[in-house]
Structure 1
Amino acid sequence: MNEARAVAPSDLPREGSLWGHPRQLWMLLGVTVWFNFAFYGFRAFLAPYIAQHFFAHLGAAAAQRQADLLGSGFLALMYATPIVGGYVADKILGETRSVALSFWLGTLALLLMALPTLEGFELGMAAFALGVGLNIPLTVLIGRNYADDDSRRDGGYTLYYLAINLGSFIAPMICADLIGRHYGYRWGFLAAAVGMLLAGVVFQWRKHKLDPLLPKGDHLHGPMATVWVVLAIAVLMYPVAMLLAYPRILSDVMYALMGLLVLYFAVSCVRRRDRVQTQRYLALLLLFVGLVVFWALSLQGVTSLNFLARDYVDAPWDFSWFQSANPFYILLFAPFLAMLWPWLERRGRDPSTPRKFGIGVVLVALSYGVLVYAIDHLRHGDGHIGWWPLMLCYLLQTLGELALSPIGYALVGQLAAPEESSLAMGGWFFGVAIAYQLAGWIATLTTKMSGTTAITGISDYAHVYTQVFAWGLGVGLVFLFAAPWIRKLMHGVH
């Protein structure tokens, strides 16, 4: 959440390096792999599990609709809690205690999610969402291993990005397919809990090694601070679980919070009376819209695309394996994209940030065009489609993500006022939460109502994805054409 404090080389622990990077970085990378193994492991089967286990009595399509809303609401809440979790880490627990608590709370949450009742499952989701908010300092701790002028810093964050995707690549194969499909998806939650437990044990064992890197005052609060935070989380679990049970209310609350955040920055601009900063915030708001649109479309992979893969895609593997496509493509293509942008910059052809946002949205829109074409023209006799259109869909979405996502977080720090950069970063994370919320509602459109009965079919997917393609393409083209004007609002930020 907060920018890392400048660390002088003399402040760094003198334990030497391992493979060219500080030794503690590798511990953090290992922890990152297992944390993301846990999250992406159960996310791979989350919506189908909810539909099958808790709402099957409503009928297949109505169950899918409820699962889309509950699953996306939970994932949205996960991206909203870092705003509060970052404050708790900065002001109450300190960074390492906050991260350690997030692992233990996440392990408990996954055990609750394995319970057979909807009430226990929702309590587990609430605990997991609250715990994830406390995990935000993990990103900061990566940077604390380096002095500000250390040339290895960018490489460290590249390794961090790869660790995230390594964990998310292997998780669906193990939690969803190897364990969940063969023994029941409840056991998939337990497999994810094992990954979270490993992250917690390793971090708890080695976190004292990070103490020399922490800012002064990080340990001002005693052990009772942890007790009070745990008690607060215990009190909040039930209200948050109730909020998850009512997706429309959760949606209204999140939109209201987003409105208040925008209002705060508008008032801040009026009080500051700084034309340049006001225009930079306007540019940030426009790019924020692009971010929300991109992820609202891309995150169909968690909801409607997951159901499409399960019900209408012929593949020689389990449907959950498609959840590994995105991290696989990132591991494959991220190094090439990382070399492409500097190569273009040296030739004066590097697209501006607004243009990259436009490229990202256009690519995610085209991914749905591929599926619509496949459903309309390449359907098999049984009404199914082959596996390659969905793999091509995920490829286009991943390339769009690589064009848009990595630059977003750096952009916030460049466009926001220094004294508001943490809050602006929290708002950027909140944009992903809003996108998850929208993704759930878009996914429900793939099921239509006939009287009191919900029905669905592959043609319904084609109908919705045609609209997604058209709207996404329109937004992407607007960004491409408006890029020079938005860039002027950024006042020198590329």
Structure 2
Amino acid sequence: MSNAVAAGQPQPSTDDRWGHPRQLWMLLGVTVGLNFAFYGFRAFLAPYIAQSFYGHLGAAEAQRQAYLLTSGFLALMYATPIIGGYVADKILGETRALAISLWLGMLSLLLMALPSLFGFELGLALFALAAGLGIPLTVLVGRNYPAGDSRREGGYTLFYLAINLGGFVTPFICADLIGHRYGYRWGFVAAAAGMAVAALLFQWRKPRLDALMPGADHLHGPMSTAWALLVIALLLYPTALLLALPAVLSWAMYALMGLLVLYFVVSCVRRRERVQTHRYLALLLLFVALVVFWAFSLQGVTSLNFLARDHVDAPFDFSWFQSANPLYILILAPLLALLWPWLERRGRDPSTPRKFGIGLLLVALSYGVLVYTIGHLQHADGRIGWWSLALCYLLQTLGELALMPIGYALVGQLAAPEEASLAMGGWFFGVALAYQLAGWIATLTIQVPTAGSALTGLADYAHVYGRLFGWGTAVALVFLLTAPWIRRLMHGLH
């Protein structure tokens, strides 16, 4: 028995298919099903909440409540992996944690289909808790490759494409074909069907994946599953209650972020390593750019979704716009993956801080397009052309591709080796924080911005999006100008 097996370490697969380990293709199928479910109900989530549970409050207040609940749920969903990853590593094992996550995800979607607000909030809470246990899916993709295998990067590229394939097809099915025609409650059921397929596929092939990780999937015996389910059951009502109190949830998120930053400050003081301290400072600055970018870009889930529904002249259902981002990624990601090495060979590859600035500039420009369209290119009926929103999503996607894949790779390089997992969890938590800010920004589109103003409809959107354009451009220029200084803080990393 090898030392790795004796230590219960994962053993990479030697059984290949189409140039990659056989189990990778199963995991990609699970990824498509999981993201079919998530992006399927996310496509209509905020409008559904406004119409089904808050319609009696009037259109503006219903929209505001929908923004707050949607952003709070999505923020919580991106925060739970910090704890869920620990449970998967230390208690359940990766494959068992993922299996539980998929089955609970299916159940949570069925709860969301219930007609009562309380049942719906329980479904949201269960989905957020289950998502925390689903974080091993990303790790399991890499488990199939030996150390130093050059195919690993290609495997993660396929994984990224699988995410967006699921995200691309599902708005047509869950939101339009089923939800729009038969009621959005049935859209949740359709999403649950996609999650069930993912869960069945993974459960079927799980024993073969377990064989690659001797002993790692039974860290504390079968009772650990029962204990995990019991803890989730006990957390379900408090989590649903937290979702019903968006102000409390928001402050809890900010407090947790403050504690995380404090931890790394204390770590730097104790370590007394000048280079590592500089690298953490660079990581913190890039983290700020990450939060700003996603707070702007995630308007696609909230305010841009309502803009598409109420003010965009399109020959198709508004939910189709939710497929724009994954479609652009499927087309453009392979091209940009070729562009960066091509620029590097010619000595023109922008540094990571500069790429962050480019990403921020692109997302700011996306709102400049909408502001110009609203101000100068409105149709006779007061609506705007669908091409303007399609162009907005294109610019945001280009910004995402300039910023996100590079950012994930950089975290592991800038963080101290013994704190890399926590740093990656904090990076994901930045997206959670961005969801909170995105919800607050979205509420501004339904408020009168200045005393005595009577802005309504498109003018409200133009006012807020004009601010996003201005502030986003300013922040982008700061990062572009200070990129050389931030790069020096990274001490040799590009």
TM-score interval, normalised by the smaller of the two chains: over 0.9
Q: Which residue does 1:214 correspond to in 2?
A: 213
**Native 8 Å contact 1:82 1:134 kept in 2:** yes
Q: Which residue does 1:488 correspond to in 2?
A: 488
**Native 8 Å contact 1:39 1:192 kept in 2:** yes
Q: Which residue does 2:284 correspond to in 1?
A: 285
Cα drift, residue 10 of structure 1: 11
Distance 1:449 1:463, change over 3 A: closer
Q: Which residue does 1:262 correspond to in 2?
A: 261
Query: 1:387-406 residue pairs with structure 2 within 5 A?
Result: 387-406=386-405
| Residues 350-385 of structure 1: CA deviation (Å, up to 9, x unaligned) | 000000000000000000000000000000111100
Q: Which residue does 1:12 correspond to in 2?
A: 12
| Residues 169-205 of structure 1: CA deviation (Å, up to 9, x unaligned) | 0010000000000000000000000000111011011
In the comparison of the two structures, how many residue pairs are matched?
A: 487
> Which amino acid is the alignment partner of residue 299 of structure 1?
L
Q: Which residue does 1:367 correspond to in 2?
A: 366
Q: In 2, distance between residues paired with 1:361 and 1:79?
A: 21
Query: 1:235-384 residue pairs with structure 2 within 5 A?
Result: 235-384=234-383
**Native 8 Å contact 1:42 1:192 kept in 2:** yes
> Which amino acid is the alignment partner of residue 473 of structure 2?
L
Q: Which residue does 1:463 correspond to in 2?
A: 463
Cα drift, residue 62 of structure 1: 1.0
Q: In 2, distance between residues paired with 1:356 and 1:101?
A: 38
> Which amino acid is the alignment partner of residue 142 of structure 2?
G
Q: Which residue does 2:478 correspond to in 1?
A: 478
Establish whether residue 115 from structure 1 lines up as the match of residue 104 from structure 2. no
Q: In 1, distance between residues paired with 2:274 and 2:382?
A: 57
Q: Bigger shift: 353-362 or 147-156? A: 147-156
> Which amino acid is the alignment partner of residue 488 of structure 1?
R
Gaps of 5+ in 2: none
Runs of 4+ in 1 over 4 A off after TM superposition: 7-10
Q: Which residue does 2:416 correspond to in 1?
A: 417
SS of aligned partner of 1:146: coil
SS of aligned partner of 2:211: helix
> Which amino acid is the alignment partner of residue 484 of structure 1?
P
> Which amino acid is the alignment partner of residue 435 of structure 1?
A
Q: In 2, distance between residues paired with 1:105 and 1:455?
A: 44
| Residues 302-360 of structure 1: CA deviation (Å, up to 9, x unaligned) | 00000000000010100000000000000011111000000000000000000000000
> Which amino acid is the alignment partner of residue 468 of structure 2?
V
**Native 8 Å contact 2:8 2:216 kept in 1:** no
**Native 8 Å contact 1:173 1:320 kept in 2:** yes
SS of aligned partner of 1:219: coil
**Native 8 Å contact 1:35 1:196 kept in 2:** yes
SS of aligned partner of 1:448: coil
Distance 1:83 1:154, change over 3 A: same
Distance 1:76 1:370, change over 3 A: same
Distance 1:10 1:306, change over 3 A: closer
> Which amino acid is the alignment partner of residue 19 of structure 2?
G
**Native 8 Å contact 1:446 1:456 kept in 2:** no
**Native 8 Å contact 1:55 1:66 kept in 2:** yes
Q: Which residue does 1:148 correspond to in 2?
A: 147
Q: In 1, distance between residues paired with 2:84 and 2:165?
A: 25
Distance 1:118 1:9, change over 3 A: closer
Q: Which residue does 1:225 correspond to in 2?
A: 224
Distance 1:455 1:245, change over 3 A: farther
| Residues 367-424 of structure 1: CA deviation (Å, up to 9, x unaligned) | 0000000000000111100100000000000000000001111111000000001110
SS of aligned partner of 1:382: coil
Coordinate RMSD, CA, aligned? 1.8
SS of aligned partner of 2:381: coil
Return the TM-score normalized by structure 2: 0.96
Q: In 1, distance between residues paired with 2:294 and 2:151?
A: 30
Q: In 2, distance between residues paired with 1:465 and 1:406?
A: 26
**Native 8 Å contact 1:172 1:324 kept in 2:** yes
Q: In 1, distance between residues paired with 2:42 and 2:369?
A: 24
Q: Which residue does 1:440 correspond to in 2?
A: 439
Q: Bigger shift: 207-216 or 102-111? A: 207-216
Q: Which residue does 2:72 correspond to in 1?
A: 73
Distance 1:112 1:8, change over 3 A: closer
> Which amino acid is the alignment partner of residue 421 of structure 2?
S
SS of aligned partner of 1:222: coil
Q: In 1, distance between residues paired with 2:362 and 2:96?
A: 40
Q: Which residue does 2:184 correspond to in 1?
A: 185
Establish whether residue 125 from structure 1 lines up as the match of residue 124 from structure 2. yes
**Native 8 Å contact 1:11 1:213 kept in 2:** yes
Q: In 2, distance between residues paired with 1:8 and 1:217?
A: 6
* Percent of aligned pairs sharing the same letter: 76
Cα drift, residue 455 of structure 1: 8.2
Q: In 2, distance between residues paired with 1:138 and 1:269?
A: 31
Q: In 2, distance between residues paired with 1:223 and 1:8?
A: 17
Cα drift, residue 298 of structure 1: 0.2
> Which amino acid is the alignment partner of residue 396 of structure 1?
L
Q: In 1, distance between residues paired with 2:66 and 2:159?
A: 32
Distance 1:202 1:443, change over 3 A: same
Q: In 2, distance between residues paired with 1:89 and 1:324?
A: 32
Q: In 1, distance between residues paired with 2:487 and 2:150?
A: 28
SS of aligned partner of 2:74: helix
